[in-house]
Structure 1
Amino acid sequence: MDTEPLVALDPAWPKTTLAQATAALTAAGTKFEMETVTIGGIPTRVWKHAPPSLAWLIAASRMHGERVFTIYEDERVSYAANFRAVAALAHALVAMGIGKGDRVGLAMRNLPEWPVIFFAAASIGAIVVPLNAWWTAGELEYGIADSGCRVLFVDDERYQRLVAHAPDVPALETMIVARASGPLGDGARRLEDLIGTPHGYASLPDTELPGVEIATDDDATIFYTSGTTGHPKGALGTHRNLMTNILSSAFSGARGFVRRGEAVPDPQPKTYLTVIPMFHVTACSATMMGSIAAGNTLVFLRKWDPVRAMEIIEAEKVHATGGVPTIAWQILEHPDRAKYDLSSLEMIAYGGAPSAPELVRRIYTEFGALPSNGWGMTETMATVTGHGAEDYLSRPTSAGPPVPVADLKIMDEDGVTELPIGEVGELWARGPMVVKGYWNKPEATAATFVDGWVRTGDLARLDEEGFVYIVDRAKDMIIRGGENIYSSEVENVLYAHPAVTDCALIGLPHRTLGEEPAAVVHLAPGTSATEAELQAWVRARLAVFKTPVAIRFVPETLPRNANGKILKKELKGLFEDRAAA
């Protein structure tokens, strides 16, 4: 069973069951109507009215006209201006000989140029390869070579990193550099020579996109996985994968109104503070695709800083932000929060990492904003489940139910036996958001993608209504003397302590027990707690064997990769003084 609701809900809620709300929203003739099509030989439920391609979506975005699409410092780019830049760059790529199926790399921080490059390449049928801007030069070289990029777009920082490394990538013909700080080497070109700067996009010629036939299930993107072990794998996504997110996200929002017994309002453009890197599917697919359809404004930060974020929320009247839970925690716990008017916030959403129930409660009670989360992964191009409003407040440890075009099941270790409701096993998912497989890795593809299902590697359970509860990554589960310890369960209890603002549970080797749990904790500013105090806090709420045998305190929030996942391997060094018993 889930924890009790975190806040008092209207006794009359819900006005409809989950099944009734889904049936009403997906009825024939509605926006969320479904149909069955064959994808890769497998009959699959899809959104009937999803846009057919990225090219169609960006062309339709012209209807938003002078509505601001992106804001970065003093640069404000309208939808109309953005499209002019996309069309101009698309024609430039065609002139360079780039065509359908060619890979176009993109490695830069969140800038107004990022969506321009993304849509310019995708609209001519090229495969966009968003590379992790946090990667080292060697890691970038791997991604460029593995995907076979012919053209690479970079910002100045990535250019300097790669030039110093002198990468050997024979397929790469051209590097195009945005915001270069100095002269460029042989073969490199300035992006500004092709389309100018964001300030000038509105004055570019008003031209159409090149005429390229694109099918819904054509290849569109290669997003690389986190790569926590070995080289990262490139997940090969389609136009349908990305377009599915638009209606999946909208459906989850509409369901909250129906569950409340209210009419679903017409969508109104919102302003989002986008703090997750665009090279991650959460930002690119789950956030940007739906935002373009709705005419939202995306505000970019040069780098995450809670004070700068609060300044922007106040100045731009931001309606929504989030990304990973630590962002919400840092704003909530900041000693200067009261100095800023954050009343415009309506929603704080996140994915990519589990969140503690205490965070859900505080977002609602202190911001007056509705918390929202969901579950997905690079291999599902983000959204598979959506969770928000009263459903989230009443089931704070769940990631929500699957969207109607997705299915979930819990499988035993044998990969054959489906487990009953309530039992923990590996989560499998299927639907039109699941990618084709891994780029040039047939063995890994065969091991992960089975008859339309993706094996997620997450340990989870389902309840009677289909809500999923992610309990751990399979590789992160700690087994102490034969007893399973799910890290999220212990972490949630630690988060509930008033002093804890960030934490992680890891396993330490033990000669006879196999493993023992240990925790790394970051305390909120101005608070204090001791190891013994936190151990007693956990012991009072969970079985004794789940209590951390050691707790280390760190002055900063815990290290994470760009997807928001805590780098637990880096934390084990904090316990070197504890020799294996």
Structure 2
Amino acid sequence: MNVISVFVQNVRRHPEKMALIYNEREYTYRGLNQRINQFANGLMKQGVRKGEKVALMMKNSDDFVISFYGAAKLGAVLVPINFRLVVSEVQYILQQSDAVTVICDDEFETLIEEATASIPGIRDVISVPAAKVTKHLSFKNIFHDSDMEPDVKVSSDDDFEILYTSGTTGRPKGALFDHQRISYISQGVTGLLGLHANETHLHVAPLFHSAQLNLFLLQGLYVGATHVILRDFEPQTVLKMIEKYRVTFFFGIPTMYSYLLQAPNADKYNLDSIKLCGYGAAPMAPEIVRQSMELFNTDQFYNLCGLTEGGPSGIALFPEDHKKHIGKSGRLPMLFVECKVESEGVESADGEVGELLLRGNPIMKEYYKKPDETAATIVDGWLHTGDLAVRDEEGYITLVDRSKDMIISGGENVYTVEVENVLYGHPKILEAGVIGTPDDKWGEVVTAVAVIKPGEGTLDLEELQTFCREKMAGFKIPRKLQLVEELPRNASGKLQKYKMREALKNTYNPHL
């Protein structure tokens, strides 16, 4: 059993059921499978073989789903790429993943052309819907006449996808998963939330993210649900689509819920089809959760607290838990997963801070081609998340900090060391530290604390952002800047970031 074979079973079970809706294009399960097969057979004709890596740099669309499943039917390994990354970041991922084919939206074609110029292993770039660069291929021309199932045997232990998540050194790491692990994710979400074939999912969070991709798109096609896909997030459109297609399940990052609450006449839409809502990828303020429950007229909200290396799996806060424990991360682990809070090899007592550890079937196989990092992260079967957490006397776990200094801004993971490395390249900066500071809209925003070199005058936020813009993705660029005379360090010279956070609670200047 693998991800693809279960989807094909659903095609046989209910071929005429609506599978996917994108703009004006609608696909039954039979029609979607035929289109996927035509693309898979076209990729095979282009030379894509089992085990080869196929990268996708695409926004949400029907073409993303067709590309993803088409490559998967050949036994290829999928490498979804964050479309907000800049050339150097994309180049590293393509090279490190051993990608041979890149499928991209035409708006990213120039970026991909530059990123692949020095990578001899890239055989083809396929642009959606049509190529503008002469040497690239047009997506619309890849489809084969045959819509028969490709003659490729895919096993449950065959590799399925590599999901990249930035490392504390600034170099991304690719979490590798096989079909079996992702099947466990689909089964786990199905059991955890009670999702089934009669659901209608709305997909608006980016499908390159493990949460929207693995937890909900793949799970929904695994059970045979209907999927409505939006290319971009626009609050009025989301509410309109929920009403029009009678959507039953919605997942969003906290920022999306905040914008939905602010949408004009949001309470005028008929949203009573919604049965369940999920949120995750960033902390969500209790008040936003409460207001969102009122908007959707349901208290069936799930806080899904996981990480990419987990598939994503982790812990969950159930609807009934929100009555007394809203704001906490969860009490029980997701299905097929164990969890514990540990400090220095010993399980932490209630009320004591430790690191959250996970173990179970969905956990990644390894970091692709990074054995040392894998060995340091998975120890005796336990995944060390780097998240600092505390468990109360009732067993509820709350994440209190991240030992890897990761910032989650608008659902995007930002690692501070990566940003600091860029800041140190600024000619005026002597020292720099980066932290996340609370923000009602984004959950957290990237905040730079800097010491200016003697004689260099001052530095304002606009100048810093201009410097950073060509060197990193937009969501990583600092949104706040605090200039100080010195940074707090311990005896070993390491930054004491908790002191930086404390100082910023009561210290503001025109740059903040």
Q: Classify the TM-score, shorter chain.
A: 0.7 to 0.9
1:274 counterpart (187, 203, 208): 203
* Structure 2 residue 209 is the aligned partner of structure 1 residue 303: no
Q: Is the 8 A contact 1:90 1:210 kept in 2?
A: no
Query: In structure 2, what residue type is equivalent to 1:172?
Result: I
Q: Is the 8 A contact 1:402 1:466 kept in 2?
A: no
1:21 alignment partner in structure 2: none
Deviation of residue 335 (structure 1)? 3.2
Q: In structure 1, what is the Cα distance between the partners aligned to 2:7 and 2:443? A: 40
2:57 counterpart (107, 110, 134): 107
Q: Is the 8 A contact 1:252 1:387 kept in 2?
A: no
Q: Is the 8 A contact 1:223 1:234 kept in 2?
A: yes
1:357 alignment partner in structure 2: 286
2:270 alignment partner in structure 1: 341
Deviation of residue 61 (structure 1)? 2.7
1:390 alignment partner in structure 2: 320
* 1:401-440 equivalences in 2 (<5 Å): 401-412=332-343, 414=344, 416-440=345-369
* Structure 2 residue 181 is the aligned partner of structure 1 residue 250: no
Q: Is the 8 A contact 1:89 1:117 kept in 2?
A: yes
Q: In structure 1, what is the Cα distance between the partners aligned to 2:254 and 2:76? A: 34
1:238 counterpart (153, 178, 189): 178
2:128 alignment partner in structure 1: 178
**Change over 3 Å in CA distance of 1:177–1:289 after alignment to 2:** same
Q: In structure 2, what is the Cα distance between the partners aligned to 1:60 and 1:227? A: 38
Q: In structure 1, what is the Cα distance between the partners aligned to 2:54 and 2:315? A: 30
**Change over 3 Å in CA distance of 1:144–1:165 after alignment to 2:** closer
TM-score normalized with structure 1 length: 0.69
1:211 counterpart (136, 143, 152): 152
Deviation of residue 234 (structure 1)? 0.8
**Change over 3 Å in CA distance of 1:424–1:323 after alignment to 2:** same
3-state secondary structure, aligned to 1:142? helix
Deviation of residue 378 (structure 1)? 1.0
- The one-character-per-residue Cα deviations of 1:530-581 (angstroms, maximum 9, x if unpaired) are xxxxxxxxxxxxxxxxxxxxxx9xxxxxxxxxxxx996761342x3489879
Q: Is the 8 A contact 1:252 1:388 kept in 2?
A: no
**Segment of structure 1 superposing worse, 382-391 or 53-62:** 382-391
Q: In structure 2, what is the Cα distance between the partners aligned to 1:120 and 1:579? A: 54
2:308 counterpart (378, 389, 396): 378
Q: Is the 8 A contact 1:104 1:151 kept in 2?
A: yes
Structure 2 unmatched ranges of 5 or more:
408-434, 452-460, 462-472, 488-502, 504-512
* 1:414-493 equivalences in 2 (<5 Å): 414=344, 416-464=345-393, 466-476=395-405
2:420 alignment partner in structure 1: none
* Structure 2 residue 9 is the aligned partner of structure 1 residue 57: no
Q: In structure 2, what is the Cα distance between the partners aligned to 1:438 and 1:126? A: 18
Query: In structure 1, what residue type is equivalent to 2:251?
Result: G
Off by >6 Å, runs of 4+ in structure 1 = 505-511, 577-581
Q: In structure 2, what is the Cα distance between the partners aligned to 1:276 and 1:502? A: 14
Q: In structure 2, what is the Cα distance between the partners aligned to 1:245 and 1:220? A: 13
Q: Is the 8 A contact 1:320 1:348 kept in 2?
A: yes
Q: Is the 8 A contact 1:272 1:296 kept in 2?
A: yes
TM-score normalized with structure 2 length: 0.78
Q: In structure 2, what is the Cα distance between the partners aligned to 1:228 and 1:314? A: 42
Q: In structure 1, what is the Cα distance between the partners aligned to 2:35 and 2:138? A: 15
Structure 1 unmatched ranges of 5 or more:
1-51, 197-203, 255-265, 479-486, 495-499, 512-551, 553-564
Q: Is the 8 A contact 2:68 2:78 kept in 1?
A: yes
1:562 alignment partner in structure 2: none
Q: Is the 8 A contact 1:348 1:363 kept in 2?
A: no
3-state secondary structure, aligned to 1:195? coil
CA RMSD after TM alignment: 3.0
Q: Is the 8 A contact 1:460 1:470 kept in 2?
A: yes
3-state secondary structure, aligned to 2:182? helix
Q: Is the 8 A contact 1:363 1:371 kept in 2?
A: no
Q: Is the 8 A contact 2:447 2:479 kept in 1?
A: no
